[in-house]
Amino acid sequence: MASEKEIKEIYENRMNILEDLTNNVQEIQEQVLEEILKRNAGTEYLSRFFPSGEADNQSFKTIVPIITYEDIKPYIDRIANGETSPILLAYRIIQFLLSTGTSGGQPKLIPMTAESFEKRMSDLLLSDLVTRKCFSGSDEGKSLYLYFIKPEMETPSGLKASFFTTFYFKTESFKNGLAKFLTSPIDTILCLDNKQSMFCQLLTGLLQRDEVVRFGSTFASVLARTIKFLEDYWRELCSNIRTGYLSDWIIDPGCKNAMSLILTRPNRELADSIQQICEDKSWEGIIVKLWPKIKYIHCIITGSMSQYVSLLEFYGGGIPFVSPIYNSSESSFGINLKPVSKPFDVSYTFLPNTAYFEFLPVGKDGEGKAQETWTDDEPVGLANVKLGRYYEVVVTTLAGLYRYTVGDVLKVTGFYNKSPQFQFVERRNVVLSIDVDKTTEEDLSKAIMKAKLILEPLGIMLTTYSSYADTSLTPGRYVLFWELKMKGSNDLPKLDAKIMEQCCCMVEESFDFTYKSHRKGGAISALELRVVKHGTFDELMDFYVSKGVSVAQYKPPSCLKSEEAVKILNSGMVGKFFSPKTMF
């Protein structure tokens, strides 16, 4: 492990690099693009636009079209099927990354090279250093980070395809780096059975509870699921600690072996103290009670993850959150240079050496709603975005993506030196839509955040939500699913119809002008609110996981497109309520 002096040197070195990068955004971006074109102008894809095999930055920006995944899918499929000519890039692909976005029901395959992996790693390292520097003492102990993997796929060419985290957790750089600071033995992370993996990771985290200074996972949703698992299994975990014997349903050889080195003796005292904490009727602050030395909770908690803020704040008992990084299978984008920001204030600083970035201006109308269509404005470069404006990010990478739209809308909130900082606004295509109304993820989240304030004084917590546009009837309506529970217990609250109706009204009131005018004009029916019992959203997650989504990358959909998913939530329904028909 690196000494304090070595860590200080690494930090200072990285910070100097950061200063250099963020002061020379324009120059570095042009160099990155030049390098990409020098290497790849002769590929089949680019030579369509540059038959001479040579391309310069300026022509690239005017000739090469802005595309989506569907446009390059045929090229990617040919690589996946084993064609070895330089189709999209001249360099060797080490494998594909699976994105949680889908194309025709299949996960998207994104090429990854050794170099693009290294770039991502250097962003992760920088983010980690910045965070540790912010919280004194956080270097000393261990991290209880709940990490999971998913099975890999193999393409016909023999190239593997996996989620980024699965790839990363199997690398030497994980094993020799971050893994050394974790409470979870690597074999428990690499166990493909997520339930056995979760049990063992929580058990090792509890056994080392006095050493844990950081708690986290990739996404906030995984932590919400971890707490639910703890609620269901704390007695069994305590019994393992008390007796020194591992539950016999843990049969994965890696897990069993790793646990045999940690669960070595009965520890009655530890089991009693954990039991006492978990028996408390209220689980408010359970994380800090179980792991009293935790300095921060580390997970992505922006975008669709922001629906977990209040739930995790409740269980966290005041521990700050660090939302470290904004990235995707396509590219790393930005890191959070102000780790102490509150979840709703987090911005990510883009680093100009990661990829070549362009930004399509996205209009915002008076009510702050992202317009569906792009404005006519030309895309602008990283050095030219304007404070307060909204953009959709377009990326050109070293790994074969050229002017590729990721689908994320971002807002410029500031600058670090000359490098812009962005707040994640929404995933562009996640919208509820009826007639001409398009309600975005951001609109929905804001409206629900307002409506749930009605419930909070009554001790009722909204733990998670989703929605869908029910167009089976005419006119159609938006249906919300809310999972509710009492603060401090998992009991279902008594549902007062009047109050629930008020929540429906508040959501509708908070929607934008287009929605309200259509509702008034009768083009949209009264909003429906379906309350589901505690645990129903876990079943939804199980459903998506069974379809191949990685637990570590799972993001609860704020809007459902699949009938099966709607059915699952309907099966947990305990009450439904409507806005008054004539509200507007």
Residues that bind ligand AMP (CB under 6 A): 99-100, 300, 302-303, 323, 326-329, 406, 408, 424, 427, 553
Region class of 566: left (phi > 0), else alpha (psi between -120 and 50), else beta: alpha
Contact in structure between 143 and 291 (CB atoms under 8 Å): no
Strand residues in 148-206 grouped as ranges (E)? 153-154, 160-162
What length does the chain have? 584
Closest-CA residue to 148 (of 189, 178, 181, 182): 189
Which uninterrupted H or E stretch holds 421?
Answer: strand 419-427
Q: Is 553 helix (H, G, I), strand (E, B) or coil?
A: helix
Q: Taking Cα atoms as reference points, which of 320, 415, 343, 351 lies closest to residue 125? A: 351
CA terminus-to-terminus distance, the chain: 64
Positive/negative CA dihedral, 28, 30, 34, 40: positive
CB of 127 vs ligand AMP, minimal distance in Å: 11
Burial status of residue 181 (CB atoms within 10 A of its CB: 0-12, 13-18, 19 or more): middle
Cα–Cα distance measured from residue 188 to residue 257, given in angstroms and rounded to the nearest whole number: 9
Q: How far apart are CA 490 and CA 290, in angstroms?
A: 19
| Minimal distance, residue 318 CB to ligand AMP, in Å | 22
Q: Closer to ligand AMP at the Cβ: 204 or 349?
A: 349
Q: Between 113 and 323, whose beta carbon lies closer to ligand AMP?
A: 323
Angle at 143 between CA 142 and CA 147, to 5 degrees: 145
Q: Which is nearer to ligand AMP, 298 or 427 (CB)?
A: 427
Secondary structure of residue 370 in the 3-state scheme: strand
Closer by beta carbon to ligand AMP, 37 or else 430: 430
Q: Which is nearer to ligand AMP, 408 or 508 (CB)?
A: 408
Nearest distance from residue 424's CB to ligand AMP, in Å?
A: 4
| C-alpha distances out from residue 320 to 6, 295, 446, Å | 27, 7, 22
Q: How far is the CB of 299 from ligand AMP (least distance, A)?
A: 9
Q: How far is the CB of 51 from ligand AMP (least distance, A)?
A: 33
CB nearer to ligand AMP: pick between 331 and 536: 331
Residue 378 DSSP one-character state: P
Closest residue (Cβ) to ligand AMP?
303
When the beta carbons of 300 and 540 are compared against ligand AMP, the nearer one is 300
Give the three-class secondary structure for 186. Answer: helix
Whichever of 214 and 427 has its CB closer to ligand AMP, that residue is 427
Q: Contact 115/398 with Cβ under 8 angstroms?
A: yes
Contact present, 504 and 529 (Cβ < 8 Å): yes
Q: Report, in Å, the least distance between residue 478 CB and ligand AMP.
A: 22
Smallest gap from Cβ 302 to ligand AMP, in A, equals: 4
In whole angstroms, the minimum distance from the beta carbon of 95 to ligand AMP comes to: 15
Q: CB-wise, 444 or 460, nearer to ligand AMP?
A: 444
At 437, list the tokens: 């109304």
Nearer to ligand AMP, 57 or 445 (CB): 445
CB of 261 to ligand AMP, least distance (A): 33
Nearer to ligand AMP, 205 or 343 (CB): 343
The Cα 20–Cα 224 span in angstroms is 39
Distance in Å, CB of 281 to ligand AMP, minimum: 34
Shortest spacing between CB 379 and ligand AMP, in angstroms = 18
DSSP letter string over 247-270? -TT---HHHHHHHHHH--S--HHH
